[in-house]
Amino acid sequence: MRCVSTAPPPLAPIFRSDTQLQILGATYLEPDRHFAIAELVERSGRPQPTVAREVDRLVEAGLLETELRSGRRSVWANSTSPIFDELHSILLKTIGPKAVLERLFRGLRGIDRALIYGSWARRYHGEAGPLPQDVDLMVIGTGDLAEIRAGADQASRTLGRDVNVTMLSPDEWDNSQTGFVAHLKSQPVVELDVLQ
């Protein structure tokens, strides 16, 4: 029996490792995109040899495709795999909130920062527990609240779970004395890349 040196990821313990989850999440949530190994190294936060070995395993399993062109290896989801749709659905519901929210909120005017907090962020950072039933989103900025809520509603439909959005101005975030903000700042969060 082969020894696996890392524990399964708390967000999706059906996957062998967090590295595997991050690679599949990147490729299956953007199935039309080809990724360089360096991009997958950055997304997973793992060393290049570890990522390359995991990519080789996933190519061998028929879940990814790869090509070497001009000395650069690119990797993408095998959309012809018989389990592509099912795996895409699982990844969307487990690791998908970060990618979906980044795509929906990137470039919206008036958003200085956005982050996921609560149980989903805790699972993302490794805390054990059941799969979260909803996603808590904090938006910091002066954007249009109706537009932000519409984005959260669209994310809820895409993810198949509620996305609860809270909005604070930059001053409220920086200077608030409330217990909620203090508690939030002391908890694990997942920063979203929403600035263009």
Chain length of the chain:
196
Q: What is the mean pLDDT of the chain?
A: 91
| pTM listed for this prediction | 0.79
* Parallel, antiparallel or unpaired: strands 72-77 and 64-69: antiparallel
pLDDT tens for each residue of the chain, 196 residues long:
333 456 777 777 788 888 999 999 999 998 999 999 999 999 888 999 999 999 999 999 999 999 998 889 999 999 999 999 999 999 998 889 998 999 899 989 999 999 999 999 999 888 888 889 999 999 999 999 999 999 999 999 999 899 999 999 999 999 988 899 999 999 999 999 998 6
Q: What is the pLDDT of residues 128-171, one digit of tens each?
A: 888 899 999 999 999 999 999 999 999 999 998 999 999 999 99
Parse the chain into domains and list their residue ranges. 18-94, 96-191
**pLDDT computed for residue 6 by the predictor:** 64
> CA dist 44 to 2, 28, 116, 149, 177, Å?
22, 14, 18, 30, 35
Q: What helix, strand, coil percent values describe the chain, rounded to 5? A: 45, 20, 35
Which is nearest to 11 in space by CA: 116, 135, 125, 172?
A: 125
Reported as type and span, the H/E element at residue 180 is helix 179-186
CB atoms within 10 A of CB 80: 8
**pLDDT computed for residue 147 by the predictor:** 95
- Give the CATH class of 96-191: alpha beta
Which residue reads 């527990």 in tokens? Answer: 129
CATH topology of domain 18-94: Arc Repressor Mutant, subunit A (1.10.10)
